[in-house]
Amino acid sequence: MNSQLRRVLSALTGTLLSVFGMAASAADMPAVGAMAPEFQLPDQHGKPRQLTEWRGKWVVLYFYPKDDTPGCTEEACTFRDDLEQLTALDAQVVGISVDTSESHKAFAEKYKLPFPLLADAKADVATRYGALSNWLVIKLAKRYTYLIDPQGKVAKTYLSVDTSRHSADIVRDLRKFKLTKL
C-alpha cells in the first residue's frame, strides 16, 4: 500500500471514529510537558515492565493496533532496523497493543524484534494515553506514539503516523531535542 493511500485511509478512519464518538479527545491524552502516566504491563516473555525502569533514557512508547498485520509489522520492523540509531540517541523503544503476551512473543520471534512489546489486554494503559479504539466488541490500540524524555515527561506526541518512516521521524526529532539541550 503506498503512503498516499495509507494517509487517506488513516484520515478516513479518524473521521469515522469521530463521527461515531470513538475518537480520543485531547483531554484523554497526556499533554506535552506533563508526566507520562505510569504503568506496569507484561512483556512478550511475561515479565512485568514499568515505565519508570527506563527513567534516565528517552522512551519511544508506541501503541499499535494488532500483531502481525501489515502496517504494524512495517512499523515494528522499521524500529528494529533503526534501533542502532535510536540506542545511540539513548532511546528505548517500547510497543504496546491489546494483544496477549503470547501473541507478542510469536510476533517478536517471527520478525526478530529486540525491544519490549507490552500486553495491555485490559486496555487500561491505551485508555489512559487516549490511544484506544473501542467498538464495543472489539478494542484496538490506535497508532499513537509518545516520545518521553529522560525525566518521564511527554516531549512529543505522534497522532498521525506513516509506518514506513515513523522511526526515521523519531530519530530526526531526537537529534533535534538533543541539540537543543546542548
Degrees to nearest 5, angle at CA 153 with 7 and 133: 40
Q: If DSSP states are collapsed to H, E and C, what string results for 29-92?
A: CCCCCCECCCCEEECCCCCEEEHHHHCCCEEEEEECCCCCCHHHHHHHHHHHHCHHHHHHCCEE
Domain count, the chain: 1
CA distances from 139 to 64, 109, 142, 161 (A): 12, 24, 10, 19
Domain of residue 25 covers 3-181
With a cut of 80, say whether residue 97 has pLDDT above it: yes
Is residue 77 flagged as an active site residue?
A: no
Q: Which range has the worst mean pLDDT, 15-19, 52-56, 72-76, 166-170?
A: 15-19
Distance CA 140, CA 99 (A): 9
Helix (H) or strand (E) holding 141: strand 139-141
Please, which pLDDT band fits residue 25 given cuts at 50, 70 and 90? Answer: very low
Distance CA 131, CA 127 (A): 6
The catalytically annotated residue of 72, 93, 147, 154 is 72
CATH of residue 117's domain is 3.40.30.10
Q: pLDDT for 32-76, tens place per residue? A: 999 999 999 999 999 999 999 999 999 999 999 999 999 999 999
User: b/e map of 52-79 (b: 16 or more CB within 10 Å)?
Assistant: eebeeebbbbbbbbbbeeebbbbbbbbb
Q: What is the pLDDT of residue 126?
A: 96
Please, which pLDDT band fits residue 28 given cuts at 50, 70 and 90? Answer: confident
At how many degrees (to 10) do helices 166-181 and 70-81 cross?
Answer: 40
Please, which pLDDT band fits residue 146 given cuts at 50, 70 and 90? Answer: very high
Distance CA 154, CA 132 (A): 18
